[in-house]
Amino acid sequence: MEETASFWSKYKRIIGGILGIGLGFYVGSLAPPAGSGMGPASMIFLGTFVCAVVWWMLEFMPDYVTCLLMVSSWVVLKVVPFKTAFGAFADTTVWLLIGALGIGVGVASSGLLNRIALVVMSKFPATFKGMTTALYVAGNIINPLIPSATAKVSIVAPFAKGIGEKLGFENGSEGMGGLFSAAWMSTGVLYPLFLSASFFNYTLVGLLPKDVGAKVTWLSWFSSFWVWGLVVLVLGYFVIQFLYKPKEAKAMDPAFVKDQLAALGPMSKKEKIVAIILTVALLLWITERVHNISSTIVALVALLLMLAFNIFDRVNFRAKIGWDSIYFIGGILCLASVFPAVGVDKWIGNLVGPMMKPLINNMYLFVIVIPLALFFLRFVLVSQTATLMIFVVLFTPLAQTAGMNPIIPAFIVLASVNLWNVIYQNTTFLAGFYASDGMVKHTQTIKMSVAYAVCNILALLASVPLWKFMGLIK
């Protein structure tokens, strides 16, 4: 058994590379299905897409490299013109991502999030229950302010460990597990509640049809998904209290958090500038429909102001913005344009539509089956972004055929792929896990991942009446 695992670990990338190319050539050489309306270029496109999916699954090379190779192949193989293949890089979503990720770097550099977290924690009892509540509240205050879940988790997790140590919990204890889970749930799981809380949300909007994505604002997003957020927030909190309740009641010196806050001193000039920029940006995002200033412009201006006030410098601009994520997401967004350009979206709708129709027509069944399917598929589909992309693109034509707003199945996928049952599933989780410096073992957190999967389904079920009332589904 160990020899098999060792062989697979050693040769997985080689096997993945060969398998992806082989399947890609096979699919690309097939004749277009009769009556599909597709041509040879459509099959070549599908071949490159299948190859990319296999490479993502088996991690043949970095995901953004695979993505850019796939997009480039469409031009080289004359599937679509260059402007169509790379069109998403000139679209608003990519520039919004650049602005959003830059804002995240600026906020993290200023130290403002540390101050917010400590101020909130100082208002709660210095007990396990009080501090898990404080972490929950702090995380959800921070959540809409910074569009990088990885940055938020990396900042809040060390606070959770420091509190656990002062409460007398040992690394790997249930108490530490509860504090970590509170920090992780509030910053790394509840981001679908706020459009500005994660680049995954912006990626989803970019994958939607232009006429649908153009209508999505911060407020319209929140008004559509607040029920989901409320249910996950409340159930998640009580699950933490149940699953990780310490055997002994412990309290820490209330002065610890206050001393940490005092050590920061008065707000620095950078913190004040960042606080003003964030407040104005968030208000402009929320009121976008009133003033009609694009959220992309707001994000870019906020980033430029941070650079102008030297919140972070040229070196950090180059090094700390996730440019690999931007390249990957930009390439992924190109799929949303190329799918209809080669007629694959209609073919998928006609092929899968009849099979999926009973499921889509029963939303209560749909919001149970899809998350359950993704729960198991995520063991194989390693990339969270790639999984999101594949299923959003798949469900969009099916939703439109059924008279459903495509944002609904897209959100269901978004909320359901964020799992950490195995450690390789979730890079954001890994960031928080390593930032916590050994406070928990991964095995401790698996029960919270399973619990979240259940809470997510219950939250989606609770959201169906709201979606019907808003006319998003029939």
Amino acid at 444: Q
**In the predicted structure, residue 4 carries a pLDDT above the cut 70:** no
Residue 171's alpha-carbon distances to 157, 162, 235, 371, in angstroms, are 13, 11, 25, 32
pLDDT of residue 180: 93
**In the predicted structure, residue 380 carries a pLDDT above the cut 80:** no
CA 125 – CA 167 distance, rounded (Å): 12
CA 174 – CA 305 distance, rounded (Å): 44
**In the predicted structure, residue 415 carries a pLDDT above the cut 80:** yes
CA 275 – CA 254 distance, rounded (Å): 27
pLDDT of residue 9: 65
pLDDT of residue 229: 95
- 87 or 5: whose pLDDT is higher? 87
Helix (H) and strand (E) counts for the chain?
Answer: 24, 0
Q: Which of 116-125, 249-258, 279-288 has the lowest mean pLDDT?
A: 249-258
Locate 375 and state its tokens. 């729960």
**For 69-121, how does the pLDDT look when each residue is reduced to its tens digit (9 = 90+)?**
999 999 999 988 998 888 888 877 788 778 877 887 887 788 787 788 778 87
Please report which confidence band the pLDDT of residue 172 belongs to, taking 50, 70 and 90 as the band edges. confident
pLDDT of residue 278: 85
pLDDT of residue 349: 67
CA 340 – CA 88 distance, rounded (Å): 14
pLDDT of residue 163: 83
CA 365 – CA 369 distance, rounded (Å): 6
pLDDT of residue 411: 95
Residue 99's alpha-carbon distances to 18, 140, 143, 273, 302, in angstroms, are 38, 21, 17, 17, 7
pLDDT of residue 305: 92
Check if the beta carbon of residue 452 is closer than 8 Å to that of residue 233: no
Please report which confidence band the pLDDT of residue 227 belongs to, taking 50, 70 and 90 as the band edges. very high
pLDDT of residue 106: 84
pLDDT of residue 181: 93
HSE-CB of 225 using CA atoms within 13 angstroms: 26
Arithmetic mean of pLDDT, 23-35: 88
**In the predicted structure, residue 455 carries a pLDDT above the cut 90:** yes
Nearest alpha carbon to residue 159 among 129, 143, 136: 136
**Three-state secondary structure call for residue 215:** coil
Amino acid at 131: M
Q: 357 CB contacts (<8 Å, ≥6 apart)?
A: 402
Nearest alpha carbon to residue 52 among 300, 393, 309: 393
CA 310 – CA 123 distance, rounded (Å): 32
- 321 or 243: whose pLDDT is higher? 243
- 302 or 401: whose pLDDT is higher? 302
Torsion of the alpha carbons at 286, 290, 292 and 296, rounded to the nearest 10: 0
HSE-CB of 383 using CA atoms within 13 angstroms: 27
**For 10-27, how does the pLDDT look when each residue is reduced to its tens digit (9 = 90+)?**
677 888 888 999 999 999
Distance of CA 57 to the CA centre of its chain: 18
- Number of CB atoms found within 10 A of residue 355's CB: 9
Q: 212 CB contacts (<8 Å, ≥6 apart)?
A: 405, 406, 407
**In the predicted structure, residue 218 carries a pLDDT above the cut 70:** yes
Torsion of the alpha carbons at 420, 421, 422 and 428, rounded to the nearest 10: 0
Amino acid at 156: V
Check if the beta carbon of residue 88 is closer than 8 Å to that of residue 206: yes
Nearest alpha carbon to residue 240 among 133, 118, 123: 133
- 44 or 425: whose pLDDT is higher? 44
pLDDT of residue 437: 79
Domains of the chain, residue spans: 1-81, 92-320
Average pLDDT, the chain: 85
pLDDT of residue 69: 92
CA 196 – CA 140 distance, rounded (Å): 12
**What percent of the chain stands above pLDDT 70?**
95
